[in-house]
Amino acid sequence: MRLIILGGPGAGKGTQAQFLCQYLQIPLISIGDLLREAIATQTKLGQVAQPFVEKGELVPDQTMIQFVRQRLLESDVSQGWLMDGYPRTAFQAEELHFLLDDLGEKLDWAIYLKVSEEKLMNRCLERSRADDDPEIVQRRVDLFYERTIPILEYYQYRQKLLTIDGEKTVTQVQQQILERLNS
Ligand code: AP5
């Protein structure tokens, strides 16, 4: 199965992605975690991404597209995957479609965790990640509405979108996702 999980910062993507990968026995590709690791170890990608991630800005599309292309060519993800944090822009969504076409693969579902702006802010501010400073979180939320919400239509049009109420408890969200995947 090939899945992407979409939602604002703090929507619970990482939480649900970990559960789903264990449940479905598929590898997790967490773009945010990979970027944070690349920054911590100062790889070439990390050096490019750092100034953007630190300010809550999106890393340029070209950098991300190239990175995801390389990641999806690796052997551990040839049978399926769940990607958290990608795509975030219309351009990334289209490029992912082309890339999967090239690989002879198809996306099964785009899971969207719908959570209000207020809850997104609160959940992020209750954590203590380096990019969870109030101003940076606000910027990430704004960018989510500006750049990522429009791609929901793209997946809706292709009948790939599963919209989930992300404001319920973690277990209830898990149950909703499984019900929708199995229906
Ligand atoms: P990324 O790490 O992907 O950050 P994000 O999208 O802002 O998402 P978060 O990790 O903050 O939240 P989450 O939805 O995973 O929530 P979580 O499960 O942790 O990206 C970081 C940065 O990298 C970006 O800002 C950007 O700069 C860059 N980047 C990444 N991808 C990019 C791309 N494709 N293009 C360009 N740039 C890119 O949950 C949050 C909290 O809520 C936790 O404390 C959790 O315990 C709690 N929680 C979860 N579910 C529930 C629930 N149901 N009820 C109550 N609490 C809950």
**Domains of the chain, CATH where assigned:** 2-182 (3.40.50.300)
Give tens-digit pLDDT for 12-30.
Answer: 999 999 999 999 999 999 9
**Chain segment 147-173, per-residue pLDDT in tens:** 999 999 999 999 999 999 999 999 999
Give distance in angstroms: CA of 82 to centre of ligand 1: 15
Q: Please check whether residue 141 is in contact with residue 121, taking contact to mean a CB–CB distance below 8 angstroms.
A: yes
What separation in Å is there between the alpha carbon of 157 and the centre of ligand 1? 25
Mean pLDDT computed over 88-112: 97
Q: For the segment 170-179, what is each residue's pLDDT rounded down to a tens digit?
A: 999 999 999 9
What is the C-alpha separation between 151 and 95, in angstroms, rounded? 12
Ligand 1 binding residues, C-beta < 6 A: 7, 9-15, 31-32, 35, 52-53, 56-59, 64, 85-86, 88, 92, 123-124, 127, 131, 140, 169-170, 173
Cis link prior to 150 (omega < 30° from 0)? no
pLDDT beyond 90 at 52: yes
Specify the residue for token string 């292309």. Answer: 69
What pLDDT does 96 receive? 97
Instruction: Ligand 1, residue 87: give the atom nearest the CA.
Output: 34
* Residues 70, 22: Cα–Cα separation, whole Å: 23
Q: How far is the CA of 31 from the centre of ligand 1 (A)?
A: 10
Name the residue with the closest Cα to ligand 1, atom 8.
9
pLDDT at 183: 87
Tell whether the model's pLDDT for residue 55 goes beyond 90.
Answer: yes
Mean pLDDT for the stretch of residues 97-117 = 97
Provide the edge-to-edge strand list for the sheet that holds 81-84. Answer: 28-30, 81-84, 2-6, 109-114, 161-165
Mind listing the pLDDT tens digit for each residue in 64-92?
999 999 999 999 999 999 999 999 999 99
Q: Whose CA is nearest to atom 30 of ligand 1?
A: 32
pLDDT, one tens digit per residue, over 112-140 is 999 999 999 999 999 989 889 999 999 99
**How far, in Å, from the CA of 103 to the mean position of ligand 1?**
28
Distance, CA 13 to ligand 1 centroid (Å)?
6
Q: Which of 16, 31, 164 to mutate to test the pocket of ligand 1 (most atoms within 8 A of CB)?
A: 31
In DSSP notation, 18-44 reads HHHHHHHT--EEEHHHHHHHHHHTT-H
Gap between the Cα atoms of 157 and 136, Å rounded = 32
